[in-house]
Structure 1
Amino acid sequence: MSKVVAKLLTDTQIALHSAQSDPEISALLTQYGYNPETLAEGVALYEAAANLHHGVAANYGRQYAATDRFQEQWRTVNAVLKRQRQIARVAFRTDRDRRHRLALATLANRSFANWIAMATQFYDAALKDEAALNRLAQFGLTQETLVDNQAKVLALVEEKSRQSRRVGNARQMTNKRNSAVKALRHWLRDFIDICRLALVDNPQALAKLGALMLTTHGRRARATQPEDQLVAHGTSTAEDPPPDDGATL
């Protein structure tokens, strides 16, 4: 849908520029109430929609960058966690109590929230259990190594929060843009009809107003049609789980 909005804005810019700058067209439109002041209202609506449309693109660019950064960090942290959980499964192969307390069972629902809960439980339980730490150290998994990746898990929560804010900002900007486009289309409904009426005997002048006069921009079918929501720009909110949780042992 963003291409539809971009075309609408381009077509509107051409039509309004011609209506304001061409003396013949301007004179004819003035007879139907579209004097310079009225056209200026349309220009203001166009500029508001165009500025917000550009803002939407910028916000989604930042959102995509934040999402990519988050998922790359998640994959990296999970790769270490996966190996550590595999080691723990070997270390506590016959210790059902510690396997439960360290959350070593397969992660059934691998949303980020469940993944974080599992990772937090694993590190908290392991680091509070001296006997478990000693057992893990026998397999080369030291307390320092556990603490290091635990810190990265906590940092990942902060990165997720930043990524979520980007999603919210992009959605908010899109809603504002959609409202501005709706207002512009509402104004264009009468403008298009009056242009066609005023210039009905002057097709050359009508052609100068461009493609806007040949489309249904601003007509009833478009006046209330919602523009691209978040889904039109990609639905990723960085909830894709890591490839696996190392539950192979």
Structure 2
Amino acid sequence: MATNKTNSEAAVLEQYRVSLENVKNQPTISSLLDEFGYTPEVIAVGESLFANTLQVYTLNKTEDDETSAAYAVFNQKKSELAALYKAHRKKAKVAFRNEPVTLDLLAVSGNLSGAHVKWMETVKKFYAEVSNNTEIKTSLARFKVTDEEISQAISLITEVETARAAYLREVGESEDTTQQKDAAFTKLDVWMSDFYAVAKIALEDHPQLLESLGKSVRS
């Protein structure tokens, strides 16, 4: 059976596990399928495919969890920086409302881009200009923009960039293991589909035994 949206991967793996376990441990099933070519050696091939699929499935789940955790860190750091920058940007617009050149220098004129790279470029320019220009820093100090806050923002910029790099690294690793998982499932699905097709014939006189392979049988 092929995996689809109505069957979770975990449920499919569990059915396959039960099938491969019981084809070995139920004597009648084992004997009848052996006659149709599913010898212990052939069953071992299926078990190997299953083991590999389970391994990459578990790894993919781990990578997905790590990606979520990395995104949470990135999102938190960016939110902290965004809140600080929003307050400082607002104050800068008031402090230099009659100085268009300074407003442009701080990149606070016009709308703020929502795209991350462009947004970060704007934020970094703002704090670079503020930290390197005593006059601008002094003017902002009147609006309670302290040296501590400026230092905090600059530190957060580094933390955001580090967190985003970590997040994107996890995304790449997750996508790689997803491809491995999908490829493994494809091979296992094909093998199990053939297995079930033969099992239905081999157990034609014992239809209820198909239940032992995880296949529903009408009463």
TM-score for the superposition, normalised by structure 2: 0.91
User: How far apart, CA to CA, are the structure 1 residues paired with 2:203 and 2:7?
Assistant: 29
Asked if residue 179 in structure 1 is aligned to residue 183 in structure 2, the reply is yes
Deviation of residue 168 (structure 1)? 1.1
Asked if residue 85 in structure 1 is aligned to residue 89 in structure 2, the reply is yes
- Where does residue 65 of structure 1 map in the other structure? 69
Deviation of residue 142 (structure 1)? 3.4
The gaps in structure 1 that reach 5 residues or longer are: 215-249
- Where does residue 168 of structure 1 map in the other structure? 172
What is the alpha-carbon root mean square deviation over aligned residues?
A: 1.9
Residue number among 190, 196, 201 corresponding to 2:200 in the alignment: 196
Residue number among 93, 100, 103 corresponding to 1:96 in the alignment: 100
Asked if residue 156 in structure 1 is aligned to residue 160 in structure 2, the reply is yes
- Where does residue 130 of structure 2 map in the other structure? 126
Aligned residues: 214
Deviation of residue 148 (structure 1)? 2.6
Query: Quick one: which amino acid aligns to residue 66 of structure 1?
Result: A
- Where does residue 35 of structure 2 map in the other structure? 31
Deviation of residue 211 (structure 1)? 2.4
Pair 1:204–1:142, CA change in 2 (3 A): closer
Moved over 6 A (4+): none
Using the TM superposition, name which of 30-39 and 79-88 deviates more.
79-88
Deviation of residue 35 (structure 1)? 0.2
Tell me: higher relative CO, structure 1 or 2? Use CA pairs within 8 A at least 6 residues apart: 2
Using the TM superposition, name which of 50-59 and 155-164 deviates more.
50-59
Query: Quick one: which amino acid aligns to residue 33 of structure 2?
Result: L
Deviation of residue 185 (structure 1)? 0.8
TM-score for the superposition, normalised by structure 1: 0.80
- Where does residue 8 of structure 1 map in the other structure? 12
Query: Quick one: which amino acid aligns to residue 123 of structure 2?
Result: A
Asked if residue 51 in structure 1 is aligned to residue 60 in structure 2, the reply is no
Pair 1:140–1:149, CA change in 2 (3 A): same
8 A contact 1:192–1:212 mirrored in 2: no
More helix, by proportion: 2
8 A contact 2:77–2:159 mirrored in 1: no
Residue number among 33, 40, 43 corresponding to 2:44 in the alignment: 40
- Report the 3-state secondary structure (helix = DSSP H, G, I; strand = E; otherwise coil) of the residue aligned with 2:8: helix
Query: Quick one: which amino acid aligns to residue 119 of structure 1?
Result: V
User: How far apart, CA to CA, are the structure 2 residues paired with 1:45 and 1:191?
Assistant: 13
- Where does residue 145 of structure 1 map in the other structure? 149
8 A contact 2:207–2:217 mirrored in 1: no
The gaps in structure 2 that reach 5 residues or longer are: none
8 A contact 1:107–1:115 mirrored in 2: no
